[in-house]
Amino acid sequence: MTALKDKIRNFSIVAHIDHGKSTLADRLIQSTGAVSEREMQDQLLDNMDIERERGITIKAQTVRLSYKGYTLNLIDTPGHVDFGYEVSRSLAACEGALLVVDAAQGVEAQTIANVYKAIDANLHIETVLNKIDLPAAEPERVAKQVEEVIGLDTSNALRISAKTGIGITDVLDAIVERLPPPEDNDIKPLRALLVDSWYDAYLGVVMLVRIKDGVLRKGEPIQMMSNGATYKADQIGIFAPKMTQVESLSSGEVGYLIAGVKQLADCKIGDTITAKDAPAAEPLPGFKPSIPVVFSSMFPVDASDYPALKEAIAKLALNDASFTYEIESSAALGFGFRCGFLGLLHMEIIQERIWREFDLDIINTAPSVAYKLGLRDGTNITIMNPADWPDPSKIETMEEPLVRATIMTPDEYLGKILQLCTERRGVQEQLTYVGTRAMVVYKLPLNEIVFDFYDRLKSISSGYASFDYELIEYQESELAKVSILVNEENVEALSFIAHKSDVEKRGRQICEKLKDLIPRQMFKIPIQAAIGAKVIARETISAFRKDVTAKCYGGDATRKRKLLEKQKKGKKRARMFGKVEIPQEAFIKALKVGED
């Protein structure tokens, strides 16, 4: 039965990683009796092992709770910057949000990023100070910090411990009393926001939807407004938290829709679903297709694993529409795939899932970003793979993506962090203080942070600094493609694109590493880093030396000279015709050059 609109509350939980978002969701589910004690487990809404182990949410989930006659729809959102677009769509499905801040750690970079998304979406925000049971908790100081940094009124901030259950009833009462209900738009033409989607082996594509206008009924023909595709609403239901079928969902309600969609790519997150027979005139605002920003190639360590890798990547793409891939081949590494990701965490998760769920060992090429080039013939192209970089004489303009990075750090590490950002061609935009913590905002090139920026930041701040970034624009830049040549043969898998100020250092790093990794031969092996025909770094692997004159004792010196001359010619010929096999371990270690 459809709930009365003023008895519905749709809300999300916004928090930095490890501030207790999933634990609070567990307590709310437990307190409202949505699951029995026997079925209850930690991180109930996190389905994947990797989510549980890392304490992060990767896919949005929803659950319907009942409390004092009210229907509460909790939409659990990912917290990491890589999934920022999914967060914005989840927030668009709500009227309110709980801002959870760790009372011991205070405001962090991702807290700010996600709460501003909620403010932009005009959500009513309630502040929740979590972990007040910890000895290091300072709720008064943290409440003041929230007021100073974010500008929210914290006079009625809730003080809880999600782990021990302190204050959970107060949170439920605040949701019911303070968060606004959805508007009653049942008589309008159907408009449903597609919040998220995933692939189920038995049901096909399952779509998580929030009904904004009208009523979605079982058996009705529906239409996707972005591409005009039509389907039939075969099954409609809610998560309570198990999938429970219903006959219809009206405006203000959140549930799932199964409509016989075969491919995840056909239902894009943020799309508007309307009725085929009486379509809405305008789609819901804010829709944009998912765009990958980081690219890397994946190759199997054992070439015979290629079919298994192909199947693994296809299965992962079924469950993650933002993960893109295409077949690629390399002379050195064989057949593989060029993959696109939303960011570095997204890339790391896909790699780990391939290793964990499909038991495959893979080689990943160094991550790169998308560059925009203007050619002399007037055409504009986007380059995602160094192998596609055109001849420098054909290029008129080069642009690279920029990000706005927000870093929060204790004061004592600020100097080193500013130095790191300056080294990475960063431009400082803002520096403010909140107590003993500094918040610094930098404009940085994306290709400077995809390598090892996060690891370096954590290292120099002893793990205390938090980091968040958003893609803002492209700017003109001096870029160059560096080719790595081994025995004068180009090894395309090791080539990379970098800023001209950085190419020499990066090229030298790879050459030095390869010198230690490639086995010696009977002839000298030159390893070179080159931009076009210009060599910018070189190392030489010396040849094995066999003493051919050892058997000569006494006699004429010309005999020794003759043997040495013969050996010299042989080595020259060997160098001309000899093939240098680069071992797989050398590729793996050389491609990790930026991680040292």
Report residue 512's pLDDT band, with 50, 70 and 90 as the boundaries.
confident
Nearest to 58 by CA among 81, 42, 38: 81
pLDDT for the residue numbered 543: 75
pLDDT at 457 over 50: yes
Q: At 198, which amino acid appears?
A: W
Amino acid at the residue 89: R
Closest CA to 441 of 174, 113, 56, 214: 113
Measured over the CA atoms of residue 104, residue 109, residue 114 and residue 117, the dihedral's sign is positive
The full length of the chain comes to 596
Tens-digit pLDDT profile for residues 212-266: 888 888 888 888 887 788 888 888 988 877 788 888 888 888 888 888 887 777 7
Phi first, then psi: give them for residue 574, nearest 5 degrees. -60, -40
Greater confidence (369 vs 38) lies with: 369
Let me know: does 177 contact 96? Beta carbons within 8 Å.
no
For 454, counting Cβ atoms within 10 Å of its Cβ (0-12 exposed, 13-18 middle, 19+ buried), the class is middle
Contact 499, 321 (CB under 8 A): no
Each residue of 146-179: pLDDT tens digit?
Answer: 888 788 888 888 888 888 888 888 888 888 888 8
Q: What's the alpha-carbon Rg for the chain, to the nearest Å?
A: 29
Which of the 8 DSSP states describes residue 183? P
**What was the pLDDT predicted at 594?**
44
Q: What is the pLDDT of residues 531-542, one digit of tens each?
A: 888 888 888 888
- What value, to the nearest 5°, has the Cα angle with vertex 25 and ends 19 and 28? 130
| 285: amino acid identity, one letter | P
Q: How many helices (H) and strands (E) does the chain have?
A: 14, 32
